[in-house]
Structure 1
Amino acid sequence: MATKTTLADIEPREMVPGYSARFIHTEHTTHAYWEIDPHKPLPEHSHPHEQTVNVLAGTIE
C-alpha cells in the first residue's frame, strides 16, 4: 500500500549555505523542493543528468 507524505513531513537538508531542500526519491527520479535565502549565490556546479527547475515563489536569475 502506498504511503502518503507531505512536504512538511520531510526534514529539509542544507546542501550549501542558504540552500535547503526536501527530497522525494522514486525508482527513476528525484524531486527536490528548494528553499533559497535571498541574494545567495549558487556555487558553479554541474550534473551528469538533466535538471528541471520550477519556481514556486520569487525569481531566479
Structure 2
Amino acid sequence: MYKWRKEFEEFVEGSFPEKGNLKRSPEQEKIHELEKRHKDAELERAILKKAIGIFSKSGR
C-alpha cells in the first residue's frame, strides 16, 4: 500500500497505467519525446546522405 500511495503522489493520473504504459513524470515525458524526435532526425539525415550519394554518382 505504501508503494502505491507514493506512486500516486508522484504520478497522480499515470499511477496505475493500463495496457503496460510506463509511468513518467512530465519531465520524463518531455525527455522521452525529445529523444524520439532526435532519433527521427538522425534517421532522416542518414537517408538524405544516402540519397545524395546515389544521385551524385548517377549524374556522371
Compute the TM-score of the two structures, normalised by the length of structure 1.
0.21
Indicate the structure with greater strand content: 1
Tell which structure's C-alpha radius of gyration is larger.
2
Pick 1 or 2: higher relative contact order, CA cutoff 8 A, min separation 6: 1
Indicate the structure with greater helix content: 2
Compute the TM-score of the two structures, normalised by the length of structure 2.
0.21
